[in-house]
Structure 1
Amino acid sequence: MTTPAEPARDLVVSYCFPPYVDTAAIIAAKRVREAGRPVDVIQNEMSELRPQDESLALIADHLVVRRHEVPTPSRFGTWGAVVPWVEQGLDQALAWDRTGPGYKRLYSRAQFSASHILAARIKLARPDLRWTAEFSDPLSTDVAGDLRYHAVRRDPLLTLLGAGLQRAGWPPPENGNLFSWAEELPFGLADEILFTNEHQREQMLEAVADPDLRDSVRQRSTIAPHPTLGPEFYAHADPELTLEPGRRHIGYFGNFYATRGMDTVLDALALLPREQRDRLQLHLFAGAHDKLIPLVKKRGLADVVQVRPFVGFLDFLALTRRMDVLLVNDAISTASHTRNPFLPSKWSDYKGSGTPVWGIVEPGSTLSGQDLAHRSPVAHVSAAVQVLARIADEAGRR
């Protein structure tokens, strides 16, 4: 992989970045590729939490001039891990800034929350930098709408960050929650704030008490869906997978959560008439795939559902083109959110494949407004049966 000939004027702060395998890392690399400018990258050493995939280098490594992995413990959100990450990351950023032409732009992305806290500290040290801060999802609430909390410590770093917010005209968070600080620091200090969809922005701003800050964030924010890679990325790999002829092959790639499970699809397959079910094959490439196998066997679907572990990123992209239909489902949020703030990140990858997509959606969600070939409501088994029947009948006609 070649290194850019010109020095970087952009600094990327992304706690997780390739070669570590994580959705946050991949999307941060996509943003770098989308901007097309040389960058220096500060990331954390993530080997205790995440595996590596060297093929991820194809996304943006040709734009990375210098890279530093901060050797601090990898944590989703503990102040004791944030402080050394910020101290060491700041030292590296300022050292690079002194030895180069000087940075013009700063980009950070959360998840993970520590990214924004280091970026805020750099912004306070170099206020002339144009800071773009991106949010993947709300930080201070989880997918079920429950408070995500870890206490901060009243220490010199927190005092400095709070004083920076006050100089900018905004009160620091009073609840002592690390995740609130990771939201309100970019809300108060960033020059541009990226949200993946409008619902996410409004959901996060509902937690901001100051109406002037809410208005300011709206003025400085941009709705920026996850980038989609070019068609060449879908042709890099050639993974082995035997697809039984005469069937329509439906692919699902991703994790399973209580709010985004497969019960609806499995129940619908079990209800489908045998002659239609025999024309289908559902391929689940999933985390914790061993827990899915008993669910499949319990419903008598072992002949129609193939459960497999995750595949590498380039294999995943190649396989999306070999499926007849790709499956994506909304997180179920109506019990916990006034609006669905989540747009599944895999939609950006599915979209680039050109393969028809079946979305299991909440009414009014961002996913429900996308160009889906098939759609059915979340937790609506009979509607899923109808979609599966249509897909099976397409196989019969073909």
Structure 2
Amino acid sequence: MSNMENNDVDYLVISYYFPPRLETSGLVVARKIMEKNLNVDVIQSAYDESSDFNEIINKHINNRFPIDIKTKPDYIPFIFKYIDLGLKAIKKNYKKVYSRSYIYSNHFLALEYKFKNPNAEWTAEFSDPLLLNLYTGAIKNYPRAILDNSDYINKLNEKIEKFNEVSDTDFKALDNPNNTFFMAEYLTFIFADKIIFTNENQREVMLSVYDNELREFVMNKSKLEAHPTIDKKFYNFKDCEIRLDNNNINIAYFGTYYYIRHFESLFYAFEALNHKYKDKIKLYFFTSRAELLKVATGSLKISNNIIIEKPLKYFEFLNATTKFDILLINDTITKGHFKVNPYLPSKYSDYIGSGSDIWGICEEDSILSKKELMYKSSMTDYQSSCDVLIDILNDYGYEDQDYYFEDNIYEKRINELNWRFGFEFDERKKYLSRYNNLKEKNMTLNGELQTLMNKNKKLKAENDVLRKKNKNLKKENETLESKYNEIVNSNSWKITEPLRKLKNSK
């Protein structure tokens, strides 16, 4: 509990990931609390580690209700455990409740709280589409997300039916079994009092899979709210010890590197550039996918201009953004999967508070492409990255009238990537062959082991028979010994002893 004089808090925040855990969704929630200067109670995961951010947000927190669940978040057992423990932890009726996905189990808990406290104003926020797959745009249909629970579904359908009666709506009942990704969106759209989306494209994409009645219903109670930018003072809260050469143009990227969020157009352009000041440009990548990035860039001539680092802690990251000349940000590739790009990189809200210039590598008509950025190029237009590189060099006073770009760099890069793919494939094939050989040997050894186990089982059975015979003989011997002792100690035996002696003397 924080040291606040006002203990009468009427705002409950449901955010399983929350500081001290430094996960993006929880950090966004914490920054919203700080931005709006709220005093709240928080339901969150039980997390023992400390963080600087936790100390800062703590003055806004009256009570924390830590929930300890070992099951993987958003799996069906987790959802029901979270609801059960969460409702038990809540000790009062709140006027307002807020939940945010990720994780979407936050919405399930908030939904149940709303059922128990219908007068509470529930605000639900979606960080990204839940139902639609990021990589394909198709509806997620994972087996782990299919809920087969007629009692729970029937209870929810009763709530939907009553809501329809009161609200003069005609929202459809849920089928059983059902998809929990769908349920998290659908039920929240119906029962939450307010809905928050991070941008217009996200709202359009998420609502596109629902009928007109629900779309209009959600539009009327939803608003767009971008990720908040933390106060400027926190960019100097903790110094990042990175040392940069100020004679260079230092460009940095902070975040994940993967195949739908890459920098190939930049690499093509930089590799192709022939410019006497080319080496003034240094590209820094702070990413958890360092090995993948090293493989992707290791054979390039510009590899010496690329510095790959581990991710920084949050406040060190904020401070680092103030030290670089230009910050790189790129869209997620969605063309062919979504009508419009529903994603805005979360780092954008951190970048704009740094004071550094931003270079956005954008997908056409994305939210990022519509932002005011110092430099902007297309993810699919190699020439636009060439133009930006020259603009940057010129802006920093490094002009070369004789610069040019190699014409065949694209073909070279494709050939290099194909070669690398072939090499990786051959390496995997070699290891697969070794694996199969070892697997075959293992099967042979398992067969031999089974034979020995069968022999052992047979010998054990024979041993059991002999042990049983021995046991029976032992019992028979004990019986005979008992009879012998009985005869020897009997009166008749004692009386006839003289006769036995007489007989023996003859």
**Partner residue of 2:81 out of 84, 106, 116:** 84
Verify: 1:202 aligned to 2:197, yes or no. Answer: no
Distance (whole Å) between structure 2 residues aligned to residue 232 and residue 164 of structure 1: 47
**Partner residue of 2:129 out of 135, 138, 158:** 138
- How far apart are 1:56 and its partner, in Å? 1.9
Q: Deviations over 1:93-130 (max 9, x none)?
A: 2xx21xxxx41100000011111010001011101000
- How far apart are 1:140 and its partner, in Å? 0.6
Match of 1:3 in 2: 3
- Superposition TM-score, scaled by structure 1 size: 0.92
- How far apart are 1:271 and its partner, in Å? 1.3
More helix, by proportion: 2
- How far apart are 1:80 and its partner, in Å? 1.4
Map 1:346-365; keep pairs closer than 5 Å.
346-365=347-366
Match of 1:180 in 2: 182
Deviates more, 1:75-84 or 1:249-258: 75-84
- Superposition TM-score, scaled by structure 2 size: 0.73
- How far apart are 1:289 and its partner, in Å? 1.3
Map 1:61-72; keep pairs closer than 5 Å.
61-72=58-69
Q: Deviations over 1:150-193 (max 9, x none)?
A: 11131544443333233222324437111111111210011110
Distance (whole Å) between structure 2 residues aligned to residue 111 and residue 82 of structure 1: 13
Match of 1:125 in 2: 116
Distance (whole Å) between structure 2 residues aligned to residue 62 and residue 296 of structure 1: 45
**Superposition RMSD in Å:** 1.9
**Partner residue of 2:139 out of 139, 144, 147:** 147
Distance (whole Å) between structure 2 residues aligned to residue 81 and residue 192 of structure 1: 25
Map 1:208-357; keep pairs closer than 5 Å.
208-209=210-211, 211-357=212-358
Amino acid at match of 2:4: P
- How far apart are 1:263 and its partner, in Å? 2.0
Structure 1 residues 91, 171: CA separation in 2 closer, same or farther (over 3 Å shift)? Answer: farther
Q: Deviations over 1:221-275 (max 9, x none)?
A: 0100111111001010111111123211111000123211122222222112252
Classify the secondary structure of the residue corresponding to 1:287: coil
Structure 1 residues 172, 249: CA separation in 2 closer, same or farther (over 3 Å shift)? Answer: farther
CA contact (8 A) 2:277 2:398 kept: no
Distance (whole Å) between structure 2 residues aligned to residue 232 and residue 346 of structure 1: 18
Distance (whole Å) between structure 2 residues aligned to residue 307 and residue 91 of structure 1: 46
- How far apart are 1:393 and its partner, in Å? 2.5
Q: Deviations over 1:312-335 (max 9, x none)?
A: 010111011101011111111111
Distance (whole Å) between structure 2 residues aligned to residue 33 and residue 157 of structure 1: 37
Structure 1 residues 308, 179: CA separation in 2 closer, same or farther (over 3 Å shift)? Answer: same
Match of 2:462 in 1: none
Match of 2:163 in 1: 168
Structure 1 residues 363, 232: CA separation in 2 closer, same or farther (over 3 Å shift)? Answer: same
Classify the secondary structure of the residue corresponding to 1:303: helix
- How far apart are 1:308 and its partner, in Å? 0.5
- How far apart are 1:385 and its partner, in Å? 1.8
Deviates more, 1:111-120 or 1:269-278: 269-278
- How far apart are 1:390 and its partner, in Å? 1.6
CA contact (8 A) 1:13 1:41 kept: yes
Classify the secondary structure of the residue corresponding to 1:357: strand
Amino acid at match of 1:152: L
Classify the secondary structure of the residue corresponding to 1:186: helix
- How far apart are 1:387 and its partner, in Å? 0.8
Greater C-alpha radius of gyration: 2
Structure 1 residues 172, 62: CA separation in 2 closer, same or farther (over 3 Å shift)? Answer: farther
Distance (whole Å) between structure 1 residues aligned to residue 389 and residue 342 of structure 2: 27
Distance (whole Å) between structure 1 residues aligned to residue 311 and residue 6 of structure 2: 37
Deviates more, 1:264-273 or 1:367-376: 264-273
Classify the secondary structure of the residue corresponding to 1:328: strand
| Structure 2 unaligned spans of 5+ | 165-170, 400-506
* Identity, % of aligned positions: 30
Classify the secondary structure of the residue corresponding to 2:377: strand
Structure 1 residues 161, 31: CA separation in 2 closer, same or farther (over 3 Å shift)? Answer: farther
Q: Deviations over 1:349-369 (max 9, x none)?
A: 111112111111122111111
Distance (whole Å) between structure 2 residues aligned to residue 363 and residue 278 of structure 1: 30
CA contact (8 A) 1:135 1:194 kept: yes
Classify the secondary structure of the residue corresponding to 1:301: helix
CA contact (8 A) 1:3 1:63 kept: no
Distance (whole Å) between structure 2 residues aligned to residue 62 and residue 295 of structure 1: 45
- How far apart are 1:146 and its partner, in Å? 2.8
| Structure 1 unaligned spans of 5+ | none
Distance (whole Å) between structure 2 residues aligned to residue 321 and residue 195 of structure 1: 29
Distance (whole Å) between structure 2 residues aligned to residue 333 and residue 269 of structure 1: 24
Q: Whose relative contact order is higher, 1 or 2, with alpha carbons under 8 Å and at least 6 apart?
A: 1
